[in-house]
Amino acid sequence: MSNNNSGELIFIHLGECGCQIGKSIWDLFCNTEFKSNTYQLFEESIRKENTFTSRSLFIDSDSNIIDHNTFTQQIRLTHCENKLKYCCKQENIINDYESSITSLRSQFSFGNNYINYIEERIRKMVENCDHLDGIIFTHSIGGGTGSGMICRILEQLRSKSWLKGVTISSFSVFPSLSEMASSTTFELYNMVLSMETMREYLSNISSIRNDLIYDYCKYELKIENIEYNTINQVISQMISTFLEPCLFSNESFSQISSKLVPYPSMNIISNSLMSIRNNLDCKELFSNQYSLTIDGIDNAKSISTCISMRGTDFYNINKDSIANYLNHRKLIYQNVFNSQRNIGNACKLFNSNNIVHIANNSTGVRNNLEQYLKLFDTNFKKYTYIQKYVLEGLADGEFEQARENLESYIDDYKELDRDYIYNIIHKKKYPFFN
């Protein structure tokens, strides 16, 4: 077993986006986490002695994405059986419509054909764990496979006794909202349609936006030529740093996840990432310039947060000052973890030896959801491409039901904002901290 009380983690990578993130994250794990956390992230091969395989499952329709494998002296990226290419006619992936409409096909036709095989592969990985701590998805919530297949898998796994008590969460790439990288109509539809299932079955949804990561790379990291590989490296460092308390302390992934989401109806986690060169200014922890998820995070009301610091030069950081600053923000849960570990090759990317990740559950996500709802309504009123989804078997009423779910998401965060402001004005104790 691993060197702490935490259990194993299983990763499921869906679609092109999720698989590309998966390749990046496992490359990072192989170089940094392997020696000290072998059995939390990897399982030993029964076929070849002293060879390890990642606890992961890759699923996509593109063979070029799936067939690529990474080998090191001791580690194989994944079992051949855990690389699933589901059949998709070539003409079905030649344009944005067909690529995005794969959401429905992944959930119904393709999903039904392969779901039993997927379940069996997950079950076998679970059986090889002594104490499974969590299952983590990486995917694009606006993509075809990423949105459709995750819903089908979650619905299939919801009643399985062998997953009882296991925390299931996701790192989800949300559609872009900037004018320079606007999302397609299909991405918005796929996101809204999948949110209801994800909200119900996932413990938390860690949200990411490529447009904000692009800005972060350009203005904070000063990178000139930004590619998807660069963005995936940032996401990988974010995920790895978030998991530091689980891999190098006695805190489990399930404990941190449950504390970050004290109210199941508000389970979207925003993420920020900082590279620290000198002293840490506590106010920067909740600054827009480091946010990879939402705009206006500095004005949001935080419910809970987990701050993970990773690097070799954090001896100048006063954890008490961070704790005092967080106390002023009146959080239900706060956790500050400092790992004195080298960040490896990431030094070149971040131009620093130290990285700070902030996982924050706050009302700021409401702004994003309201923008998505507005864009959805604009397209839905025009009946833009709705007929395409209807031809694939989706009823009109399911769009309205999905919209109502998104609106209820927003209402929950609005209610939290109203309660907070009311109690501050009347100098009452914030009701969520009784």
Superfamily of structural domain 8-367:
Tubulin/FtsZ, GTPase domain (3.40.50.1440)
Mean pLDDT check: name the lowest of 3-17, 35-49, 231-245, 365-379. 35-49
**pLDDT (tens digit, 9 = 90+) per residue, 68-104?**
644 343 345 544 555 554 443 333 333 444 444 555 5
What confidence score (pLDDT) does residue 345 get?
57
> Of 240 and 41, which is predicted with more confidence?
240
**pLDDT (tens digit, 9 = 90+) per residue, 114-162?**
888 899 999 999 998 988 999 999 999 988 888 888 998 999 998 899 9
What confidence score (pLDDT) does residue 431 get?
41
Indicate the SS3 state at residue 60: strand
**pLDDT (tens digit, 9 = 90+) per residue, 192-248?**
999 999 999 999 999 999 999 999 999 988 998 999 999 999 999 999 889 988 877
> What separation, in Å, do the N-terminal and C-terminal C-alpha atoms of the chain show?
39
**pLDDT (tens digit, 9 = 90+) per residue, 171-191?**
999 999 876 666 678 888 889
Residue 239 and residue 147: Cα distance in Å, rounded? 20
> Of 167 and 146, which is predicted with more confidence?
167
CA distances from 369 to 199, 263, 359, 409, 412 (A): 13, 18, 18, 8, 12
Q: What is the pairing mode between strands 354-362 and 333-339?
A: unpaired
Kindly tell me if the per-residue pLDDT of 24 is higher than 60. Answer: yes
The CATH number of the structural domain formed by 368-433 is 1.10.287
- φ, ψ (nearest 5 deg) of residue 356: -120, 125
Enter the pTM of the model: 0.86
DSSP, res 139: E
Listed by start position, the domains of the chain span 8-367, 368-433
What confidence score (pLDDT) does residue 356 get?
87
Mean pLDDT check: name the lowest of 197-206, 258-267, 402-411. 258-267
What confidence score (pLDDT) does residue 48 get?
60
Identical fold, 8-367 and 368-433: no
Q: What is the pairing mode between strands 56-60 and 52-54?
A: unpaired
- φ, ψ (nearest 5 deg) of residue 307: -110, 120
Residue 311 and residue 139: Cα distance in Å, rounded? 28
What confidence score (pLDDT) does residue 426 get?
45
Per cent of the chain over pLDDT 90 is 29
Tokens of 415: 């209610």
206-229: buried (b, 16+ CB within 10 Å) or exposed (e) per residue? bbbbbbbbbbbbeeebebeebeee
- The answer to whether the beta carbons of residues 252 and 7 sit under 8 Å apart is yes
| CB-neighbour burial class of residue 115 (10 A; exposed 0-12, middle 13-18, buried 19+) | middle
Residue 136 and residue 13: Cα distance in Å, rounded? 8
Kindly tell me if the per-residue pLDDT of 424 is higher than 60. Answer: no
What confidence score (pLDDT) does residue 231 get?
95
Maximum C-alpha span of the chain:
67
406-433: buried (b, 16+ CB within 10 Å) or exposed (e) per residue? beebbebbeebeeebeebeeeeeeeebe
